[in-house]
Structure 1
Amino acid sequence: MKLKDPAEVAEIMQVTYLSDRQQFIVPFFNEQFIVDCSRQTIYNAADGLVPGIGARMLILHYLTFFASRQEPVCKWVSLKEIPGGGMLFYPAFYKDSIRGLIKAFGRQSALLLACAKQMGGQPAGFGTVSAVFQVFPKIPLCVLIWEGDEEVPANATVLFDPSIEHFLHIESVIGVGSYLANKLIKLAGMDMVPGN
């Protein structure tokens, strides 16, 4: 981050930079995080809590990786279609993230919308049920569920705007998809426990 002008980072990546405090304010899902450059800390603006290492890495990568001024192109593609290794890494992504989404929502797809709402997700018109999430200002993701029954197996996927290749390297593209899938799966688990 020291190699890039903070004001330029803020402008290109659509975040706020407070020069007097040397802080970025970064929207991440439906929360605001403070990246304090002088103290080298990241914390939630609402409660001061430090997010997990995965979230911290994704926030830092969002601020530092971009190489050009790009805008989302407002279409959806699979991880397989992301250059730089998407096809290569897809089997592991499927095993680690997609399978969990199928297990959590494949027989109760409506639960996806309840869980998505807690993360700022908005219903979309794909599959049996789908939701679009604004991960960062320039990075939307879409989760789709096709509900299964005794005859047809359930399926799921995570879709990306193809512009993501300009904002994150492939490991972080996978990371952001996995982060979202894991959060939704955890929320589904909490919602299935009586009394929660």
Structure 2
Amino acid sequence: MESNYLTAYNKGWDDLKQKKPEDIAKAMEVTYLSDKRQFIVPHFHENYIVDCKQQSIKKEADGTDPGTGASILIIQYLTFFQTNAILVNKWVSLKEIPNGGMLFYPAFHEECIVGLTKAFGHRPAFLLECAKQLAGQPASFGDASAVFEVFPKIPLCVVVWQGDEEVAANATILFDPSIEHFLHTESIIGAGGYLAKRLIKLAVPEIQRGHFF
């Protein structure tokens, strides 16, 4: 694990010790098993076991490690919140997220949105095929869109508009405004980037066969 990721990961475990497990479970809609000192955290509709004694995170179904990016997101989801906020049930761009969303949007666009546009902009329906593999549910935006439950209180929506000879293809990732209470800005960007990379990875083999770029 690279040093900056390791620092964030270790800080997450330190932050976890400072909060009451029962408060975390209630605020973030996860399960806490006090006898085992374990949290059960749904992540893309799969449960992950956060073991406070072992300081480990494993997928409940097969015991596999979720990887560095997902592990950091999971532990930050458990530790960042300050209030018991609720979903607003509306969608906004990263540019509308306070405390840096506008500032970081150009890099986010280059690293995430451009890839989504290339992967799905000329075949929007393919987004829905890939979304199913991450338990994404169809939505009604653009030419194709899907909502993903990254965590119980963090939905993200990916939207694609099809391009043609006159109009360029486009894509975006939308957030519920409440996310500012559940993750800091870097982790909000990380969550969007993590979803984009997973979708693009699912799309790549089919793109290579069909030449959809």
TM-score range (shorter-chain normalised) is over 0.9
- Partner residue in 1 for 2:186: 171
Q: Percent same amino acid at aligned positions? A: 64
**Structure 2: distance between partners of 1:47 and 1:190:** 25
Query: Residue 126 of structure 1 aligns to a residue in which SS?
Result: coil
1:13 to 4, 18, 28: 28
Aligned pair 1:60/2:50, yes or no? no
- Partner residue in 2 for 1:154: 169
* CA drift at 1:187: 0.4
1:185 to 200, 204, 209: 200
* CA drift at 1:192: 3.7
Amino acid at match of 1:150: E
2:46 to 26, 31, 43: 31
Amino acid at match of 2:121: G
Number of equivalent positions: 194
- Partner residue in 2 for 1:139: 154
Which structure 1 segments of 5+ residues have no match? Answer: none
Q: Which runs of 4+ in 1 moved over 6 A?
A: none
Q: Within 5 Å, give how 1:21-100 maps onto structure 2.
A: 21-100=36-115
Amino acid at match of 1:161: D
Query: Residue 49 of structure 1 aligns to a residue in which SS?
Result: coil
Cα RMSD, aligned residues only: 0.8
Compute the TM-score of the two structures, normalised by the length of structure 2.
0.90
**Structure 1: distance between partners of 2:121 and 2:181:** 32
Which structure 2 segments of 5+ residues have no match? Answer: 1-15
Higher helix share: 2
* CA drift at 1:193: 5.4
2:122 to 96, 107, 115: 107
* Residue 191 to residue 32, structure 1, CA distance change in 2 (3 Å): farther
